[in-house]
Structure 1
Amino acid sequence: MDEPFQGVCPVLNTPFKDNGDVDHEGLVNIVDYAIDKGCRSLSIFAMNSEPTKLTPSEKIETLDTFMNAAKGRAHTAIGVIEDSVKGAQEMARLAEEKGADALILFPPGRVPPQGERFAKFLEAIAGEVSIPVMYQDAPRTTGVSVSTEFLIDLTRRIPNLKYSKVECPVPVRRIDELQEATGGALRCMSGNGGIYTVDAFRRGAWAVMPGVAVVDRFVELYRNFAAGNLDGARDIFENMMPLLWFEDQSLEFFIACEKQILFDRGVIGSTHVRENGLRLNAFDLDELRALVGRLQGASAPAAAA
């Protein structure tokens, strides 16, 4: 396989059946879909996966399904979103025991700690495992902002902090700063649904972590970039941009769009998003399908009946 998490590492959706149950067969289909499109690294339980809407038992069952489907075929990163240190430590240990290659660490959702307290929170979780960890730097969704200096200090305090998913304001500048300050030791992942992909790769990003629905286009973009064909990478990126911007209207809107594309492509059997979620209306659906249909080099979805 490729270097862990290098290039394109999509965040997978958690599919649900129409009745709201987790669709484990659908999750296996999503894993197969991403690998078939060229992905060699996959992540789950980041925000696109709706992890906060899963019960504890569902989360364990979903993790089992994901790991069994991806094992030996792709590097795996598991998000750890828990409000307590103890809960986060337990989830971190469980993910490592089940074979995860890395963890994605998030601030707790209730009363997020700041400064030194937050650094100790992350230390306590990362110290429970031997696998690499990634920090999700996404103030728009977590409500927690940290400085570049804070992250640089974390790399000194947490030996297994090897990655940062950069989704802060002016993210490509932070990628630049972190690369320079750490000599590339902290590998930066570009998030934000992929809307800064080309600029991020030019600044030294290790990977992009988009949604999974049109990951075939991201894989082709990265292949062009890695081969030195910047114009080819830009052509693919500029063709995708209207869709990426449309999806990025909110997190819940993004999730609804991703599930709709996966449904239209026959990967999952339902577009169900758990409450409190968002559902596309007729105008949203018409525009989404039009934008997907304009993608060059990607199979356009057939309209569902």
Structure 2
Amino acid sequence: MDLTGIGGIWPASLTPFAPDGSIDGGALRAHLRHLAETDGVRALVVNGHAGEATSLDREERQAVIRAAREVAGERVGVVAGVVAEDTRGACALARDAAEAGADAILLFPPLLFAGGAEARPEMALRFVSAVAAATALPIVLFQLSRASGLGYAPELLGRLCREVPGIIAVKEGSDIPAAYEASLEAIRGCGRPVTVLTTNNTWLFASLAYGADGILSGVGSVASAILADMFAASQRGDIAAARRANARLLPLTRVFYRRPALDMHNRMKTALHLMGLLPHPDPRPPLLPIEPAERGEIRAALVAAGLLGA
């Protein structure tokens, strides 16, 4: 599926594990099918942070992509995360994604970029260009927060979009409104259409007002229908309806996106388990299962969002 110019909702899916720690293939397919069948979902994103990609080996990552390809059909795209700490590894994962049937890759910056890569823009350009050359798959570029040290400066972001034609979209997570606006300006001014997918999870509604073509977020693994309602209302200018959807979303974002941040997707697994959509909520070690008190808070958030009966 050609995802060029495609916005809408792109949920970042979770990876269910069996009690022995192996991937639960049946639960994975059921989870992906549930997302793919949600109105407004245009692409499934696998092997990202939400999918605990760094705990998966190369064969497991390919297996997840194949499962997504199997259930997505022709109506929904498949985007595979490429999370690697070196260029060679990223290129290998990009080729694996193509072989497994992905339609595009979501390219994460290596963590070492946080050590000052902003002072070496050629490093980012060479990294992204090398991955683009390794496969014919188009690229969704992950723009993280500037505070993390992993975000691209607006000038570099614009340059990447201009000089790497394989980039068809940007997952925009600058976190700060002013930085988000600067990214939007750089992307819109790159000289060709590049889809902007907001992932500013604690202010998605506001980021849509600034301008976005869609939402790519881990919260979509739990609340893709709410995201779709909010996005559709925003697109048609129905602010009241968008606010209502946002009011449903807020209890979830408040309970998911809090300290410690390493548990955010672990909490989403617990939410799906409470909803009866995931048989086993536990993550892979060293992550720990959610404690009973926090499970109660997640349950309350699901009830407040209208996703679970009181």
Aligned equivalent of 2:227: 218
In structure 2, runs of 5+ residues without a counterpart are none
Task: Confirm or deny: 8 A CA contact 1:83 1:110 kept in the other structure.
Answer: yes
TM-score by length of 1: 0.89
Aligned equivalent of 2:74: 72
Aligned equivalent of 2:48: 46
| Residues 123-167 of structure 1 deviation map (CA, whole Å, 9 limit, x = unaligned) | 100122223211111248974232010010111220111211111
SS in 2 for 1:15: coil
Equivalent position amino acid for 2:52 in 1: E
- Greater shift after overlay, 27-36 or 59-68? 59-68
1:104-123 maps to which residues of 2 (within 5 A)?
104-110=106-112, 113=117, 114-123=120-129
Aligned equivalent of 1:153: 159
CA distance in structure 1 between the aligned counterparts of 2:170 and 2:271, rounded to whole angstroms:
28
| Residues 157-215 of structure 1 deviation map (CA, whole Å, 9 limit, x = unaligned) | 201112111112415323432354236722211114x3222222222211111221111
TM-score by length of 2: 0.88
1:177/1:125 CA distance change after superposition, 3 Å: same
Aligned equivalent of 1:274: 284
Aligned equivalent of 2:196: 188
1:26-175 maps to which residues of 2 (within 5 A)?
26-38=27-39, 39-110=41-112, 113=117, 114-139=120-145, 143-171=149-177, 172-175=180-183
Whether 2:15 is the aligned partner of 1:9: answer no
1:66/1:180 CA distance change after superposition, 3 Å: closer
SS in 1 for 2:45: strand
Whether 2:303 is the aligned partner of 1:293: answer yes
Task: Confirm or deny: 8 A CA contact 2:7 2:195 kept in the other structure.
Answer: no
Whether 2:233 is the aligned partner of 1:227: answer no
Equivalent position amino acid for 1:260 in 2: T
Aligned with residue 271 of structure 2, among 245, 261, 284 = 261
Aligned equivalent of 1:244: 253
SS in 1 for 2:277: coil
1:299/1:3 CA distance change after superposition, 3 Å: farther
Q: CA deviation at 1:248?
A: 0.5
1:5/1:195 CA distance change after superposition, 3 Å: farther
1:245/1:148 CA distance change after superposition, 3 Å: same
1:284/1:226 CA distance change after superposition, 3 Å: same
Q: How many percent of aligned residue pairs carry the same amino acid? A: 22
SS in 2 for 1:241: helix
In structure 1, runs of 5+ residues without a counterpart are none
CA distance in structure 2 between the aligned counterparts of 1:141 and 1:9, rounded to whole angstroms:
25
SS in 1 for 2:217: coil
Equivalent position amino acid for 2:53 in 1: P
Q: CA deviation at 1:85?
A: 1.8
1:96/1:56 CA distance change after superposition, 3 Å: closer
SS in 2 for 1:76: strand
CA distance in structure 2 between the aligned counterparts of 1:155 and 1:3, rounded to whole angstroms:
13
1:235/1:118 CA distance change after superposition, 3 Å: same
SS in 1 for 2:79: strand
1:17/1:142 CA distance change after superposition, 3 Å: farther
1:236/1:141 CA distance change after superposition, 3 Å: same
Q: CA deviation at 1:274?
A: 1.0
SS in 2 for 1:228: coil
CA distance in structure 1 between the aligned counterparts of 2:309 and 2:71, rounded to whole angstroms:
25
Moved over 6 A (4+): none
Equivalent position amino acid for 1:210 in 2: S
Aligned with residue 208 of structure 1, among 215, 218, 230 = 215
1:141/1:127 CA distance change after superposition, 3 Å: farther
1:208/1:263 CA distance change after superposition, 3 Å: same
Q: CA deviation at 1:37?
A: 2.3
- Greater shift after overlay, 140-149 or 206-215? 140-149
CA distance in structure 1 between the aligned counterparts of 2:146 and 2:54, rounded to whole angstroms:
16
